[in-house]
Amino acid sequence: QLSKRLETVVNYVPEDAVLADIGSDHAYLPCFAILHRNIKTAIAGEVVKGPFESAKREVRQAGLTNQIDVRFGSGLEVINKGEATCITIAGMGGQLISSILTDGLDKLTGKERLVLQPNVGEYNLRKWLVDHQYSIMDESILREDHKTYEVIVAEKRSQCTDYTEMELFFGPHLMRDKSPVFMEKWNSEKKHLVQVLQSLNQAQVSDQVIEKKSEVTTQLNWIEEVIG
Ligand code: SAM
């Protein structure tokens, strides 16, 4: 049984894909993808010995050593250019995901589908994607174990899509869909930002406080606009 979070990621892996799951930990995602999603083969990449050994054990126990190659190394250095048609990177901060992609730019042909699940820092990751000419093809938001997760699917298209700052902040698809989980996330963020603004109003005025107040006010206005 895969977590709802990883199952949402796997659902975006196309059938017949050659998958590279970077930061695979126990390799649950590639094992599930092979067993239930009809994908061809997979590579599980891990940079830490413990998780690397767990991945190897899991793959062996599932009888999938012919289909899943567990490789030791950082980020995209475990794959050859053009080897994977879909790359999943899940369960890390958006900053780490962006740096894995930046460090691995020479391994990307631009034909791969990227399925990314940042735990935090979604805005910065979307910004990285559009700065590198990716289009955001789809998104999901879900709740599991009292945490909210977002999944971002990106591909390079001949025609680049332009995004507003607001779309990068909320997610272009998520802000259009306005699912109950999305509404819940931004309602609670709104409450949090109102409190932040209250304490900034009581703080001693400085350039930093003024800047922060303006940022928080802009975000609160956006949230009002999107969720009402
Ligand atoms: N992807 C799995 C998931 O979503 O459940 C595991 C997430 S776990 C929190 C993050 C994993 O990424 C860890 O096993 C860690 O060792 C690995 N990791 C962190 N930085 C990495 C890098 N640069 N290259 C490969 N793996 C990395």
pLDDT for the residue numbered 54:
98
**CA 24 to centroid of ligand 1, rounded, Å:** 6
Q: Is 118 in the pocket of ligand 1 (CB under 6 A)?
A: no
Q: Is 120 in the pocket of ligand 1 (CB under 6 A)?
A: no
Q: Per-domain residue ranges for the chain?
A: 4-165, 182-227
The span from the CA of 100 to the CA of 103, in Å, is 5
Residue in 2, 3, 7, 25 to alter for ligand 1 test, most ligand atoms within 8 A of Cβ: 25
pLDDT for the residue numbered 13:
97
Q: Is 209 in the pocket of ligand 1 (CB under 6 A)?
A: no
3.40.640.10, 3.40.50.150, 3.20.20.150, 3.30.70.260: CATH of 4-165: 3.40.50.150
pLDDT for the residue numbered 159:
85
pLDDT for the residue numbered 64:
98
pLDDT for the residue numbered 40:
87
Q: Is 171 in the pocket of ligand 1 (CB under 6 A)?
A: no
The span from the CA of 103 to the CA of 89, in Å, is 14
pLDDT for the residue numbered 160:
81
What is the pLDDT averaged over residues 76-88?
98
Nearest CA to ligand 1 atom 17: 23
Q: Is 139 in the pocket of ligand 1 (CB under 6 A)?
A: no
- 147-156/134-144 β-pairing: antiparallel
> Is it the case that residue 118 has pLDDT exceeding 90?
yes
pLDDT for the residue numbered 143:
98
How confident is the model over 143-193, as pLDDT tens digits?
A: 999 999 999 999 999 888 899 999 999 999 999 999 999 999 999 999 999
> Is it the case that residue 82 has pLDDT exceeding 90?
yes
| Secondary structure of the chain as H, E, C letters | CCCHHHHHHHCCCCCCCEEEEECCCCCHHHHHHHHHCCCCEEEEEECCHHHHHHHHHHHHHCCCCCCEEEEECCHHHHCCCCCCCEEEEEEECHHHHHHHHHHCHHHCCCCCEEEEEECCCHHHHHHHHHHCCEEEEEEEEEEECCEEEEEEEEEECCCCCCCCHHHHHHCHHHHHHCCHHHHHHHHHHHHHHHHHHHHHHHCCCCHHHHHHHHHHHHHHHHHHHHHC
pLDDT for the residue numbered 79:
98
> Is it the case that residue 78 has pLDDT exceeding 90?
yes
Whether the full predicted model's pTM is greater than 0.90, yes or no, is: yes
Q: Is 92 in the pocket of ligand 1 (CB under 6 A)?
A: yes
Give 18's strand partners.
Answer: 41
Compute CA distances 211 → 36, 186, 217, 218, whole Å: 50, 22, 10, 11
Q: Does the interface ipTM go beyond 0.95?
A: yes
The pLDDT mean for the chain works out to 97
Q: Is 30 in the pocket of ligand 1 (CB under 6 A)?
A: no
How confident is the model over 28-60, as pLDDT tens digits?
A: 999 999 999 989 899 999 999 999 999 999 999
What is the pLDDT averaged over residues 127-154?
97
pLDDT for the residue numbered 161:
86
Q: What percent of the chain has pLDDT over 90?
A: 96
pLDDT for the residue numbered 44:
98
How confident is the model over 8-28, as pLDDT tens digits?
A: 999 999 999 999 999 999 999
